[in-house]
Amino acid sequence: MKQSEIIKLSTAELQEKLSETRRTYAELRSAHAISPIQNPLQIRFVRRAVARLATELSKRELQ
């Protein structure tokens, strides 16, 4: 998810998207631990999306 898309989301949508993305990340990690997934770079992209969403959410809480 691009930063420009994240900025346009409301705070409620951000929280929902963050929990959904964290769930996806956990599923990818567990699936990769059991047997290697076809595209392991997908784990990196999802982890970075979690970081972007969490950063934007904390930035809004500080304002």
pLDDT at 14: 97
Domains parsed from the chain with CATH numbers: 3-62 (1.10.287)
With contact defined as beta carbons under 8 Å apart, do 2 and 54 qualify? no
Query: Which of helix, strand or coil describes residue 8?
Result: helix
- What average pLDDT does the chain have? 96
- Reported pTM: 0.91
3-state helix, strand, coil in the chain (%, to 5): 85, 0, 15
pLDDT greater than 90 at residue 62: yes
Least Cα distance to 59 among 2, 7, 23, 4 occurs for: 7
